[in-house]
């Protein structure tokens, strides 16, 4: 089955600096790569996703890049703010006609923004 | 619009007790999921339901049962709780075509 590795497990950056979180996956059939943000005491919430036919996607201060050849994808957060502090999860899925039952999550990165 | 609602939020059980976690979504989604989250393990799929009337095992189904009561509701039952089932449980739903999964707020379960 799919195996998703995520690094680093913890990351601290100064407010205003950029943060990068990296994930690798094992199943070359994976075609959907979402990123989730989980705030303390809350459920994960989708912040951005990318599909295999695209190499990069950007939404304001957040961007995701995908390298299918190397089987890795990364989350980039620019101009970090205190509210970016959270745990971030990457995931990969081969998808199906029905849904994302094949979605495999990374182990998470705890991002701390230092004011 | 409540999204995905799960109850209870917190529960302490004794080993061997049984309980059911309830989940309901009001987004008319077809697919529903139960995950557990443990430190350093990410989110692992316990069971899922691709549509009303169907359920299937995920990555870690042992010790659990599920019921898709109707399109809105998907419950998770622990028949005989064990300390290894101490975890945070998340219910989630998705319209069902490989799109965004929406999570509930989580249920913190401790088995002593």
pLDDT (tens digit per residue) in A61-89: 999 999 999 999 999 999 999 999 999 99
Q: Tell me, yes or no, if B38 comes closer than 8 A to chain A by beta carbon.
A: no
- Contact yes or no for B96 and A98 at CB 8 A: yes
A4-7: strand order across its sheet = A4-7, A19-25, A72-77, A62-67, A56-59
Confidence of residue B34 (pLDDT cuts 50, 70, 90): very high
Minimum Cα–Cα distance from A1: chain B residue: B59
pLDDT (tens digit per residue) in B79-93: 999 999 999 999 999
With CA atoms as reference, report the closest residue to B93 among B46, B41, B38, B50.
B50
- Contact yes or no for B101 and A46 at CB 8 A: yes
Higher pLDDT, B38 or B98: B38
Name A12's Cβ contacts closer than 8 Å, sequence gap at least 6: A111, A112, A113, A114
């Amino acid at each position: 089955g799919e195996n998703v590795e995520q690094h680093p497990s913890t990351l601290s950056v100064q407010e205003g600096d950029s943060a990068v979180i990296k994930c690798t996956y094992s199943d070359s059939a994976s075609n959907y790569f979402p990123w989730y943000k989980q705030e303390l005491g809350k459920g994960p919430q989708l912040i951005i996703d990318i599909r295999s036919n695209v190499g990069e996607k950007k939404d304001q201060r957040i961007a995701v890049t995908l390298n299918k050849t190397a089987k890795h994808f990364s989350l980039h957060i620019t101009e970090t703010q205190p509210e970016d502090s959270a745990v971030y999860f990457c995931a990969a899925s081969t998808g199906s006609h029905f849904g994302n039952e094949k979605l495999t999550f990374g182990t998470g990165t705890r991002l701390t923004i230092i004011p | 619009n409540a999204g995905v609602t799960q109850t209870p939020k917190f529960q302490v059980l004794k080993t061997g007790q049984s309980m059911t976690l309830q989940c309901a979504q009001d987004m008319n989604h077809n697919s529903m999921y139960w995950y557990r989250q443990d430190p350093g393990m990410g989110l692992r799929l316990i069971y899922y339901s691709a549509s009303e009337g169907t359920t299937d095992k995920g990555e870690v189904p042992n010790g659990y049962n599920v019921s898709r009561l109707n399109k809105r509701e998907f419950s998770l039952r622990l028949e005989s709780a064990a300390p290894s089932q101490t975890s945070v449980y998340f219910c989630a739903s998705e319209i069902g075509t490989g799109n965004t999964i929406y999570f509930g707020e989580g249920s913190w379960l401790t088995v002593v």
